[in-house]
Amino acid sequence: MGLRPIQSLPVPTLIDAADELRKKLRPLKFPAPVSHTYNPLDYAWERHCDYLERFGKGPKRVLMLGMNPGPYGMAQTGVPFGEIAAVRDWMGISGPVGKPDPEHPKRPITGFDCERSEVSGRRLWGLFAEKFPTPGDFFTDHFVANYCPLVWMRDTGANLTPDKIPATAMQPVAEACRRHLKRVIELLDPEFLIGVGAYAEKQLAAAAGDLGCEARLGKILHPSPASPAANRGWAEAASRQLEELKVWSK
């Protein structure tokens, strides 16, 4: 009688990690002042998977981390810093996007039909597209992720940052997002961990410490239009920081 063939175990992927994260976050409820919570890993799951499948196969030399989705970026496209023109025209990702339930009337999700531009994403991906003519050139060595996929808002539709939400409600979010970030680091095995802003750098430092990861840690200026420094020439500042960190050569 012949031996039964050995069944190889499936290799875990970023899609598996993201699926675990969205399932952990899905049942969570948030008290006032939160009125609505959006999770694009649910209603824009197919587009998020497009991004991970095309560009997230490791290892990567550089992992860059943002905070959470912007209203006209990842909230619409499912892609981190997902300014629509950059996602559609440079990355070549487009397609149907669903709706959060419930949807705030002042914060509609229209997917790739959204006519607003995400300034942070336009600046971030614009710099990368300028330096790397094709997305393949960039994603060969780089990957961009977000620490948390959730968007919170008040009854007025105004954004809520995590520090405005009761700490007890945020604890399971932090646990799930930290676990996911550690999986991303393990899967991509980066040489550099770069926070897009100080908050993201702090999360990278904590996750790397838990893992005993020896990747070089650093940060670049966040491209938000709310930052006066970013409005005075973000691309030049971020490029200089990446060169000083030896992520990019001059």
| pLDDT for 5 | 56
Enumerate residue ranges in the chain where pLDDT < 50. Answer: 1-2
**β-bridge partners, 218:** 194
User: In this predicted structure, what is the pLDDT of residue 125?
Assistant: 98
Full-model pTM = 0.94
**Given this model, what pLDDT does residue 1 score?**
43
The answer to whether domain 14-243 has CATH 3.40.470.10 is: yes
pLDDT value, residue 3? 53
- pLDDT for 4 equals 54
pLDDT of residue 20: 98
Query: 124 — phi, psi (to 5°)?
Result: -60, -60
